Structure 1
Amino acid sequence: MAHVESAHLVELALRNATPTDADAEALRHVDRCARCRDELRMLTRVVAAARTAHLVDLPTAPPERVWQHISRDVSDTPDTPRPPAPAPAPGKRVLLALLALAAAAGIAVALRYLHERSGLVRRGVVR
């Protein structure tokens, strides 16, 4: 017997959407399955507690920085620009330039090989 997925149980506990046939089938399973029934019961209690919670229910108000972090994460824009990454040391710059040149040469050789091979295939020289 396949259990109801946790995400579906969360949706059932939230009761935000109009019930569907899949919801009815999931609820029939929940009626027969103690594991899914217990999970749905727990999720329903959590949803009810969250919906009735008030700021005064918290031991203390969260610091302003918490709301700033939440706001920044939700808006996906940083508060301040990040500093630029440090430039590599001169010796590393030369090494990086050589590696980039080698990669470019390798790509050029590979493209030329593929181009020549495709011409040979078209002429029937290579199969």
Structure 2
Amino acid sequence: MAHVEPAHLVELALGNATPSEADTEALRHVDECARCRDELGVLTRLVTAARTAQLVDLPTAPPERVWRRISGDLSPEPNTPGPPPRIRDRRRRALLALLALATALGVAVALRCLRERSRVVRGGVAP
């Protein structure tokens, strides 16, 4: 059996869908394949961390001087924008943190897909 698709591993880690025959097959493969088992473990830990995040776990905004330095480095114009507005609503901050985690997860999966595809292409096997 071929390795489990990264998107399918994400779905398994999330555990939101009703289990299907494809999930059973994928989990059977995960039991036998160290690489897929490790990847599912990483994704499961990431999902658990995101779901158990508390407000105190969220990063604080950097000092304004950091934002000014970044803005100055990116645009040499004298009218650089100020820092982004602070979000005071705790639910919105938590939602933004979860959105950032989901985005990071999506980027990680996409990078793994690209890396796997390039490995397969370099190995002489058609994708």
The normalised TM-score by structure 2 is 0.48
Q: Which has the higher contact order (CA 8 A, sep 6+)?
A: 2
